[in-house]
Amino acid sequence: MGDITGSNVPDERREGIERVHKATISEAKQWLSEPNVLVVLDFYSKNCPLCKEMSPSIEKMAKKFGSKAAVMRLNVGEPGETAKVATEEYNVSQTPELKFYLNGKELKAVEGLQSEEELEALFEKYTGKISDDKEFVMKDGFMPGQKAQSVEEMMMRISKDELPQGVTRVKMTGEEIILTEKSPSAILSNGGAPPAVQTINTSYKPQSSQGKKEMTSTERAMQHSMGKAPIPK
């Protein structure tokens, strides 16, 4: 991983994540390649008591410093690529362990249980290296972990009459309602057929009563109780 500190740092950056992202090694490396965002690798194991004890504090840090930081939680307690890369490339030998990176450079590694105060001091120190006075060009697009929405965020969007992320609103035409989920705007603008389209015919044509058996009073009363027909006088 190349070091892009000092005068080589680009004048662009993206927002971090205000939650801990359970990441793959590939996703973590994508974030590590991003400039001007603090990336924290949280190496943990499901069977690690100290990891469980420290987890709520890490969640708080992610929320508080999410505008400048992205916390990647990596499960190294099971055999596989994550554990292999953590051992061979990141020299992780125990859990919990946190590694702090900025612009391709490892700034700090801490092992074992850290108090909330100790974690806050570290996050404060290293996010402070991303200047608030400098005017960065904010990068477009989503990185791993950024698309996920909490229930609170989804309810807030709905209260503002906004569609959830990834859902496109399509104008109703004629007697049909076209519901389109996750349709790229480029496909729609090019006139192509959007994926996963369901068409609902809203026209209502009552069936002829010819040949139908007349309902009894009891049957009509039952229909009324279901909101389907009036009770005869």
Which residues are part of the catalytic machinery? Answer: 48, 51
Neighbours of 112 (CB within 10 A): 11
Q: How many CA atoms lie within 13 A of 93 on its CB side?
A: 1
Burial of residue 65 (CB within 10 Å: 0-12, 13-18, 19+) is buried
Burial 74-106 (b: 16+ CB within 10 A, else e): bbbbeeeebbebbeeebebeebbbbbbbbbbee
